[in-house]
Structure 1
């Protein structure tokens, strides 16, 4: 399954102890919010490598970022899902920038808000040469939504590599998780910009967090001597 274009999306992630340790050391560094941008003209001038996090409202994006960085309130969920349009930038020890993208897919959001989201995100994705990857969060408990597929299409059009991370895996039974994993892997095989590893995670138990840290550490700048 999922090998139509030569990529095996059912493959598991294999990392060495050295890679896991590199991820641990990177995310043990201080991580601080340093900039918010509500439109493209407000983006910070930077050539530091960036990794962005995207997902539907209430998918657990803030919880995942906090789990990765070991901070309880670094990223904060909006009290009004679907309303926040700001890109939030966090400096991870001067080696990597984490970008928290506004949530999408909120059912009560006005059509104009949804269109503004897509326009702003596409401009950011296409116009940010230092953007290394987008981490796309999907809830392990629910099926892939039309809005998720629209965002995947947006990544394809922008030619930006994205990796799917399943969230809230602690809240699903093993058989249900396996079925969800296979469904997502099949969906990924239809997107040329998709990274061929779907990573199950849980911000509550820490499952998948060391592996995701290691994956993202590959994009970080080397520490200064």
Structure 2
């Protein structure tokens, strides 16, 4: 009887040890993580377009996509998905023919984790004036030239016109309207002078025409005296 009891106890102990050894509890889930190195900079694309890269790591399978609805027409990423580990995205941008800088937001997702970064593309440089011709009465006065530019620019008054066309304002980089003062024309001859606005290879020329000092009320002053009309 004692032998039978010992055998039963031994069997129970054996079963308990086996069951307790196999039961390690549930396996904890992996916490999703995407890491973009701090030294990794988001690409700044040239106006003409091209490619750039971003390297990151993920501990789970990941996806990549362009968030902006309109940006996906000029910016693409490749590959758009991958497995756990280190990966490199290639970002491709088409040429930017607009005078405005544009950007695209890229989002990386791995499970519940996500990271975003922004790709910037430079604008196409532009410099224009609203009118290349300004007519002034003999009395003179102030004139304005509206400049539309996304680059800094300078202006100069041609040498022959400097005695009677002078700057009337100090222009900051953000100013888009240039003002000039035209002196009274006391001569009997009409006159004209040019103001040139330039930035590097970009140049716009505005010609200022001023009536003669004869005055429009003088019978001798006719439309034929104003060849620019």
**When the two structures are superposed, what TM-score results if normalisation uses the length of structure 2?**
0.23
Query: In terms of Rg, which structure is larger?
Result: 2
**Greater fraction of residues in strand:** 2
RCO higher in structure (CA 8 A, sep ≥6): 1
